Amino acid sequence: VRHLLGIKYLNEKDIELIFETADQFKEVINRSIKKVPSLRDITIANIFFENSTRTKLSFELAEKRLSADVLNFSASQSSVKKGETLIDTVNNILSMKVDMVVMRHPNPGAGIFLSKHVNASIINAGDGAHEHPTQALLDSYSIREKLGEVGGKKVIIVGDILHSRVALSNIFALKLQGAQVKVCGPKTLIPKYIESLGVEVEPDLRRGLEWCDVANMLRVQNERMEMSYFPTTREYTQQFGINRELLDSLDKEIVIMHPGPINRGVEITSDVADSSQSIILHQVENGVAIRMAVIYLLASQLKT
């Protein structure tokens, strides 16, 4: 495998290998060894055509901890603004002897397109509403860390499923590992094809929370929203927002996740997001080890 374009292209064994490799990097990081010399001869370009905090910083840190040389490219400050195409942009970067490209792009399939036109290893850091594979890997890795395993666990993904690359990649990853998955959200934000992925739709949040071991709360993606899709923010929060009172009324303690960035007070209240039930910051922490593992494994393919 030369690229990581989506979870759709992985199997259960690939995920296991990524997790085992991430375990080793996490152990190294926990021993306060911040840098390993594994990728001293590799150059990686992070090219972001959409805003990011967690993914961008986490990839950069992972690359630096592996001792790779790192180029950071932000489309908004580049010659893309003068009309340069994606392929021209990337080929110009590659002519500087870059081995791997980490790309976030607003168009679904942008990474797949690029992988067919340029000679480098491509990692998809989020392509429109399509896939966000490293997010799904770090999410499953965090469930495994918290609950021992992913197989057999009941996970509900709540919110704006229609616009969410996190939802799609999570569904693929969780199903591959044998988890049961439901989605919950406004009818207008649940895509028609969802049940064909082996996922049940639960329209009632309370029933969904009573069923699950883990609730992954998604951000309402206002930037991708057409007004006709969306209930008002107040209606959304009343029906699909999670708060302390609701959690306390369940007869068990469930694990709360969120990929970030959070719309505090919309899909989740602060007293839940910042509580001991929430593993949101563990997800972010695990993102570095997962991205180190993905980059390390792909780089080993470059050398063969």
From the annotation, which residues make up the binding site for carbamoyl phosphate? 54-55, 104, 132, 135, 260-261
First to last CA, the chain: 11
**Cα–Cα distance measured from residue 254 to residue 208, given in angstroms and rounded to the nearest whole number:** 11
- One of 46, 55, 115, 124 touching ligand CP (CB under 6 A): 55
Angle between helices 12-30 and 165-176 (to 10 degrees): 100
- Please, are residues 126 and 7 in contact by the beta-carbon 8 Å criterion? no
C-alpha distances out from residue 184 to 13, 175, 204, 216, 260, Å: 29, 17, 7, 10, 18
List residues forming the annotated binding site for L-aspartate: 82, 165, 219
Which lies closer to ligand CP via its Cβ, residue 60 or residue 202?
60
- The 60-89 site mask, x for binding ligand CP (CB under 6 A), equals ------------------------------
Choose the binding region for ligand CP from 3-11, 15-23, 47-55, 168-176 (rule: CB under 6 A). 47-55
- Least CB distance from residue 256 to ligand CP, whole Å? 15
Element (H, E) at 80: none
Number of residues that bind ligand CP (CB under 6 A): 10
In whole angstroms, the minimum distance from the beta carbon of 57 to ligand CP comes to 8
Could you give the string, one character per residue 119-148, with x where binding to ligand CP holds by CB under 6 A and - elsewhere?
-------x--------x-------------
Please answer whether residues 258 and 273 qualify as being in contact, where contact means their C-beta atoms are separated by less than 8 angstroms. Answer: yes
d(CA 261, CA 29): 25
Do the beta carbons of residue 221 and residue 163 sit within 8 Å? yes
Q: Do the beta carbons of residue 75 and residue 47 sit within 8 Å?
A: yes
What does the per-residue mask of binding to ligand CP show for 249-288, with x meaning CB under 6 A?
----------xxx---------------------------
The interface region with ligand CP, picked from 15-23, 52-60, 77-85, 168-176 by CB under 6 A, is: 52-60
> Which of 111/126 has CB closer to ligand CP?
126
Residues that bind ligand CP (CB under 6 A): 52-56, 126, 135, 259-261
